[in-house]
Amino acid sequence: MTDPVTTERHGRVFLITLNRPKANAIDAATSQALGAAFEVLQNDQSLSVGVITGTGRFFSAGWDLKAAAEGEAPDADQGVGGFAGLTEYWGLTKPVIAAVNGLALGGGFELALAADMIVAAEGAEFALPEATLGIVADAGATIRLPRRLPRPIAMELLMTGRRATAAELERWGLINRVTSPEDLISSALELAAATAACAPLSLQAIKEIDALSEGLSVEDAYAATRNTPLPAYSGIYTSEDAAEGMAAFAERRLPDWKGK
């Protein structure tokens, strides 16, 4: 048997690949393996950005219904990060890019939604069929999708289960880039490398402020940002990286980030 999750390092970028033919369905053991990979991303200071993708014609078909039919409970231990290792990984301070190679169905779509950015191949399709099966997309889509899309569009996808193309979701602003299948990984790694070229503390601070301010008014978000202890943001202007960034700009050279 092959490992359901494989990883590769590309400089400061960590490529995580779901490899569970035929549909990259996610059972509890696969969720735990994904969570372990995201933990490596979080804890390894030589890594700045993660990319999650799949093999074959599926990014992921989501929850492994065969495992469920064989007795795996919906509340089985999914490990760190909850379902798919990412949908509830609240402590992950590093950016993640989903490189959607094919069908992202149910929990596969929810895994992509848990990422910070999405790159998709032409021909990739996204759907949330849970309501047609008598269940609900409760690994994040019912919460996240109405915040990312116009509410009527999100409700349509949640309440009908219809498939949306990558091109449609790019028009709605949910997807950053649509590429040819052949260029998907290189495009995702290019975006990841551009992100990883920025200061690690700045990336962490952006994620902190984004998480804290979501759903707040602009005024309340300002107040929360100023008054809440945020590990990366609180010390960013006195950090070594801030001094290095300004020095590198003045000296017209690339900065040497230390993450502190």
CATH class of the 5-196 domain in this structure? alpha beta
Cα distance between residue 154 and residue 168, in whole Å: 12
Question: What average pLDDT does the segment 116-131 reach?
Answer: 97
Question: What average pLDDT does the segment 66-73 reach?
Answer: 74
Token look-up 């309340």 returns 220
Q: What is the model's pLDDT at position 67?
A: 75
Give the pair of three-digit tokens for residue 73.
């409970």
What's the angle, vertex CA 177, arms to CA 171 and CA 178, rounded to 5? 80
Question: What average pLDDT does the segment 233-253 reach?
Answer: 93
Measured CA distances, 3 to 41, 187, 198 (Å): 18, 25, 32
pLDDT tens digits, 41-59: 999 999 999 999 999 999 9
Active centre residues (catalytic): 110, 130
Task: Provide the β-strand partners of residue 7.
Answer: 16
Question: What average pLDDT does the segment 151-158 reach?
Answer: 98
Sequence ranges of the domains in the chain: 5-196, 200-251
Helix (H) or strand (E) holding 16: strand 13-18
State the average pLDDT for the chain: 94
Q: What is the model's pLDDT at position 65?
A: 76
Contact by Cβ (8 Å): 86, 41: no
